[in-house]
Structure 1
Amino acid sequence: MKSSTIRTFTTVHTWTGLLAGFALFIAFYAGAITMFHDPIDTWALPKQELADARVMDKAGAMMADIVAKHPAARESIGVTYAAGHPSHEVAAYWMEKNGTWMTQAIDDAGAHDAEDHEHGLADFVYELHYDLGIPEIGIYLMGIVSVIYGVALLTGVLIHLPNLVRELFALRPGHNLKRLWQDAHNVIGILSLPFHIIFAVTGALLCLTLVALMAFNVAIFDGKLMSAFERMTSALPDTAAMTAAGPGADAKTNVPMLPPAELGAIARKAALGAGATNFDPDYMRYVHYGQPGAAAEVRGTSEKTLGEYGMVALDASTGRIINMQLTGARDANHATYSAIFGLHFGTFGSLSLRWLYFILGLAGAFLFYSGNLLYIETRRKRRNAEQPMKVRAMATATVGVCIGTCLAISVTFIANHLAPYFGAEPTLVVQPVCFITFFAAVAWTFWRRPAKAAVDLLWATAVASVLVGVLDMALHGDRLVRTLAEGRYDVLGVDLVAMAMGVGFGWLAVATRRRAVEGDPCSVWAARSPRVTATTTPAHDG
C-alpha cells in the first residue's frame, strides 16, 4: 500500500475516531454496565416486593378503566408483567391522540396515574447507552455515531492490515508513552474487532431503522411501508382484517376481554407446547380493545437463544392462538430483527457471555480513551512546557467527559440508595444527579487543568464506586442476607463488582499521579510546568 494512501486512511481514522469517540466512550461504558440490567434493577429497589398474582389480577380491571377514560387507548394499549423480578412493576402504556405517551402503574394499593414515565436506575443507564440521555434526537445521533464508528473500524483495519500479525501482541512498555498507547490501542482493537463490527452494524440498524423506514416509505413504497413494517415485526395479523372479523367494529361495542394474567398463561403454555425451552411473559398489548375481532400480543423472553424475545398472538376475548413467532419457528423478517437485537445485547448466551460482553464494553471504552491519548501524544511539543491549544483542549475534554462519565454513573448509584432517606423518589433523582455530576466534573477539569483534575476525578470515582457496595451492605444488609439465603447472588454481585471497579480506579489514580509528578515536564499531563526553553531536551519521551 502506498504511503500516501496510508496517510489518507490514518487521517480519516483519526478524525472519525475523534468525532465519535466521546459518544462511544459513554455508550460502551454504560453498555458494559447494562449487561447486568436485571441484577442492577433488583439492587436499585431494595424495598419493593415481588409483584404477585394479586397485582396482575387487578390489571384486567385497570385496562377497562383506562379505555373508558381515555378512548385513544382503545386502538392499542400495552401492559407490563412482573416477570419474576422485584423491580418490574405492572403498568399500562398507551398513546393519546396528540402523540403523548401515557402510563398508569398499579400495585397492591391500587392504580395511580403518571403523565410521564420516569426511568429507574437500570433503565437510565440503558438510556445513556443508546441515546446518551438526550431526549428525542439522542437515538438518531447515536445511529450517526455508529456509522462513523464503522468508518473508523474500516480505516483502522486497512492501516494495520500489512503488519497485522507482527503488531498483534506487540505491547512495548517503557518511557515512550506514545508507542505504549499505540500498542495497547492496536492490540485491543484487533482482538475485539469482530465484536466491534457487530456493535457498529447492529447499533446503526437499531438507531436508524425509523429514519430509513421514513425515507423509503416516501421515496419508494408510496406511503405503504410503515404499516407493512408493523406487520413484519409483529405476531398480529393485519389490523384491518381483525376489525373486519367481527360483525361491525363499532367503537361503542364492549366485548369482554380476557385479563393479561390469563392471556399470559395461555401464551406461555402454547409457546412451550410449540417447542420453546422457556417463555416468560414480560409485556403484552391489546389491539382494538373491547371490539369484535380484538387481539392481544404477548411478548415473552427466552434464554440462550439468538432472539431473546418471542411473540404469541391471541384472540383477546377467547384466548384462541392466532400466530406465533418463536425461536426456531420465525419467518425471515422476525429472525433477522431478533438476531440484530440478540447480537448487539448478547442475550443469546449464558452468564459467561454477559461477562464477556461486559469486559468487551470496558475494553471498547478504553479503546476510544486511548485513541484520544494517542492524538495528544502525537501532537504535543516535546521541547516546550506550554502545549498547543488543540492538545490542551483535547486533554481537558478527554478527562472531563470520560472520567466524568465514570464518576457520574457511580454517584448516581449512590444517590439511588440515599434518595429515600432525604424524602425523594429514586426514579426522580437518578437523571439529574448524573447530569449535575457530569457537568461538575467537566467544570472541575477546566478549573484544575487536566493533569491535576484527572487524579482528583479518578480518586473521586474510586471512592464513589467502593461506596456503592459499602452503602448497600450497610443500609440493606437484611436484603443481602435474604437473597443469599434464597440462592440469589445478583445483589452481592453488584456490590462486589462496584467495589472491584473502585479498586481499579484507585490504581489508575496512583499511576496518573505518578505520571504527573515524575513524568516528562514538557507534557500536558505534568502537574507543574517548569521554565523550559525551546532548546531544552527532555529526559525521555512521554
Structure 2
Amino acid sequence: MKVRSDILRIYQSIHIWTGIVTGLVLFIAFYAGSLTMFKPSIDRWMAPPAEILSPIPAMQYQQLMDKVLEQKPAAHQGFTLFFNAKELNQSPIIWHNTPQSRGLTLETTQWHGTLNEAGDLVTQQVTPSVLAELIDMLHRTAGIPGEVGHEELGVLILGVASVLYFLALVSGVIFLLPSLVKTFLALRKNKSTSRFWLDSHNIVGLTSLPFHIIMSVTVVVFAFHDVLYGGLQTMVYGEKPMFSRPVSKIEVPAEIQNLLSVEELLQKSKSVAPDFQVTNMMFTGLQGDRAVVRLGVYNPDYVMRGPITDYIFIHPYNGMILNSTLDPTPEGLWNRIVATFFALHFGSYGGDLVRWLYFFLGISGAFLFYSGNILWLEKRRIKQKANSPTPVQSRTCYNMASATVGVCLGSLTAVLLTMVVGKWLYLHVNNINHYYYGLYYSFFISAVCWAFIRGAARAGIELLYLTAIAAFAIPITSIIAWFDLLPIWSSLSNSTLGVDITALITGIVLLVLTKKAKLRAINGEPDSVWSLQPAIK
C-alpha cells in the first residue's frame, strides 16, 4: 500500500509524541492492571489464614443469617453472605460496625462470622489488607494523588492519556502500513540494538492491537462517564431520569424480621439468570427506604459487568427485581452495553483462561510503552551521530532515560517490596494498611531519585537487581513460612502458589535482563545514554 511520504511523517510524529507524553503513566496502569486480574490471590497471599473463618454447608446460611441478625445489631445496617466461601477466600458472612464510605478506606474493620459444629455463632473482628486495592488504585490512577470534584485526578489524567494513546495506536498502524507485509513478525536479532527494539515494539503492538483499542476506548468512557451521561441525558432521555429505580409495588415494612429468606432470594435470581451461580449476597440500607440486596452471579461463558460477576438487584422485603445487568428486554439495552464495556476492560468472561491472557497482554502493554521510550532515545542518538563527528547526548535525553528507568522499574520494585515488607510487618502492627501507602511511595520516590542521581545506565542495572531480589523474596517468604522458620504464616492453595511461581519466573526474567543491560552498558555505543560513561551536553 502506497502512502505519501509527507503523510507518513505526520503520522510518525503523532505516534512518537503521543507515546512519549503518555508512556510512563500508561506503563504503571498496564502492569498494575495485569496484577489486578488476580486480586483475590494477592489478598490470600497477604492475609493470615486465621482471618478467614471456616465454610458452612449451603443449607446453613439461613441459620447463620438469622443468628447474626439476632445477636449483632450492627449487622442490621447491612451484611454480605459469601457462598463457596472457601474458594472465594472469604468467611461465610461479613458485616461492619459503622456505615462504609466509597473508595479505599484504611481504617475499615470487619466482623466475620460462621457456625461451629454445634451450630453456635462464631465471630471475630478483622482488619482486612487493602494491598490488592492499592494495586488497583495504581491501575486506575497511575499513583497520581488528588481529586477534582468527586473524581480522582489520576483517573482524569489517564483518561486524557488514553485519548492520546488511541491516536498513537492509529498513527502507528498507518505509519507501518508500507512495510507491514515485509516486516510483520520479523525480529532481526543480528541487526543493530535499535532495530531489535523496533521490531519487538512493532510485533507486540500489532499482535495485541485489538486489546489496546479496547483498553483505550473503555478507559476514556470510565474517566469521562459524567460527560457522556450528561450528553445522553440531554440528547436522548430529556426530562426522563436516565437511571430510574422501579417503585416497589408491594408495601412491606422495612423490618429485619420481614427479610426474604436466602432460599427465596436464590429462587428470584434463577428467574433472571438460570444458568448463573450466585457467589454472594450484599444487603444494604435495610433500615431505610433504599433497601436492596445485590446478588453477584457468575458464569464464565458470559461477559459480566463486574470484575468477576454480573449483578442482580432485588428488594429484600418484597422480592421485586429492581435492576439487573442481565436484563434481556429492550429496557435493559443500556445496562447490557455498559456491561460489555466493563467486561471487555476487566476480562470478566471466559474464566481463568481469559484472565491469564489479559495478564500477559497487560505485561506486554507495559513493555510497549517502555520500548517506545527506548526507541525515542535511540532515534535522538542516531540524529546526534549524523550531525556531529563527536556526538553527545542532550540533557533532555539523559533526563528522559532516567525518568523511564526510575518510573517504570521504580513502580514495579515498589509494589513487590511493599508486598514482602507488608507481609513481614502484618503481625507486628495494629493496622498494616496505614503502612502500605508509605511503603509504596517511599520505595517509588527513592527509585526515581536514584535514577536521576546515578544516571539511566547505572540505575537501570541496580534497580533491575533490586526488582529481581524483591521478586525472589516473595517465594522465599513462603518457603520460610512453610518450614516455620520465623513467625509468619503460610497459605497453601493453588492461588497463593500461583503468586509465588509468577514472582519466581519474574525474578528469573529480570536477572536475564540485568545481564543484558550490564553488557550493553559496558560494551555498547559510548555515545548512548545507556553507556556507563555517557557524553552529555
**Could you state the TM-score of these two structures normalised by the residue count of structure 1?**
0.81
- The superposition leaves residues 377-421 of structure 1 with CA deviations (integer Å, 9 ceiling, x where unpaired) of 001233546311121111011000011111111101102211125
Identity %: 28
Contact 2:80 2:281 in 1 (8 A): yes
Structure 2 SS opposite 1:298: strand
1:202 maps to which residue?
Answer: 218
Separation (CA, whole Å) in 2 of partners of 1:78 and 1:402: 41
What does the per-residue CA deviation read over 1:243-293, in whole Å, with 9 as the maximum and x for residues that have no partner?
A: x8649xxxxx7633556xx65553333334555333334353435x43579
Corresponding position: 1:388 with 2:388: no
Cα deviation for residue 130 of structure 1 reads: 1.2
* Cα offsets for 1:469-498 (capped at 9, x unmatched): 1102212558999965xxx41111111110
The answer to whether the 8 A contact 2:269-2:312 is kept is yes
2:465 is equivalent to residue 464 of structure 1: no
**Which residue is equivalent to 2:193?**
177
Partner in structure 2 of residue 10 of structure 1: 12
TM superposition shift of 1:224: 5.4
In 1, Cα distance between the equivalents of 2:171 and 2:498?
Answer: 39
Task: Report deviation, 1:168.
Answer: 0.8
In the aligned structure 1, how far is the partner of 2:230 from the partner of 2:79?
A: 27
**Which residue number in structure 1 is paired with residue 497 of structure 2?**
492
Once the two structures are TM-superposed, the CA of residue 79 in structure 1 deviates from its matched residue by 4.0
Q: Secondary structure of 1:228's partner?
A: coil
Alignment pair present for 1:522 and 2:527: yes
User: Which stretch shows the higher mean deviation, 49-58 or 416-425?
Assistant: 49-58
Look up the equivalent residue of 1:204 and give its one-letter code: V
Residue 408 of structure 1 corresponds to: 414
> Which among 168, 189, 198 is matched to residue 184 of structure 2?
168
Q: Does 1:367 align with 2:368?
A: yes
- TM-superposed CA distance for 1:369, in Å, is 0.3
Residues 33 and 110 (structure 1), Cα distance of their counterparts in 2 relative to 1, 3 Å cut: same
1:143-158 matches, cutoff 5 A: 143-158=159-174
Cα deviation, 1:31-64, whole Å, max 9, x if unaligned, reads: 1111112211211113322365687556646996
User: Distance in 2 between the 1:423 and 1:103 partners?
Assistant: 15
8 Å CA contact 2:422–2:432 kept in 1: the answer is: yes
The two structures, once aligned, show a CA RMSD in angstroms of 3.5
How many corresponding residue pairs? 495
User: In structure 2, how many angstroms separate the alpha carbons of the residues matched to 1:127 and 1:263?
Assistant: 36
Q: Report if aligned partners of 1:515, 1:525 keep a CA contact under 8 Å in 2.
A: yes
Aligned partner of 1:539 in structure 2 is: none
What residue is the counterpart of 1:71 in the other structure?
none
> Are 1:356 and 2:357 counterparts?
yes
Query: What amino acid is the match of 2:469?
Result: V
Letter in structure 2 aligned against 1:6: L
Aligned-residue offset at 1:426: 3.0
Question: Which stretch shows the higher mean deviation, 169-178 or 333-342?
Answer: 169-178
Taking the aligned partners of 1:477 and 1:327, their CA distance within structure 2 comes to 48
Q: Would you say 1:90 and 2:101 are equivalent positions?
A: no
Equivalent residue letter for 1:325:
S
Hey, what does 1:340 align to over in structure 2?
341
Structure 1 position 311 matched with structure 2 position 314: no
Q: Which secondary structure does the structure 1 equivalent of 2:301 belong to? A: coil
Name the CA distance, whole Å, in 1 between partners of 2:344 and 2:135.
Answer: 19
Greater mean alpha carbon deviation, residues 431-440 or residues 419-428: 419-428
Partner Cα distance (1:96, 1:354) in 2: 29
In the alignment, the residues of structure 1 paired with residue 230 and residue 24 of structure 2 have an alpha-carbon distance, to the nearest angstrom, of 28
In structure 1, the residue matched to 2:149 is none
In the aligned structure 1, how far is the partner of 2:489 from the partner of 2:109? 33
The 8 Å contact of residues 111 and 123 in structure 2, kept in 1 or not, is answered as: yes
Structure 1 window deviating more from structure 2 (370-379 vs 100-109): it is: 100-109
Match for residue 510 of structure 1? Answer: 515
SS in 1 for 2:312: strand
Report deviation, 1:328.
7.5
Q: Deviations over 1:440-475 (max 9, x none)?
A: 000111111110000000000001101111102212
CA contact (8 A) 1:51 1:82 kept: no
Query: Structure 2: 5+ residue runs without aligned partners?
Result: 56-60, 114-121, 147-151
**2:501 counterpart letter in structure 1:** L
Query: Aligned equivalents of 2:434 and 2:82: distance in 1?
Result: 21
Q: Alpha-carbon deviation of 1:144? A: 1.8
> Could you say which residue in structure 1 is the equivalent of 2:454?
448
3-state SS of 2:224 partner: helix
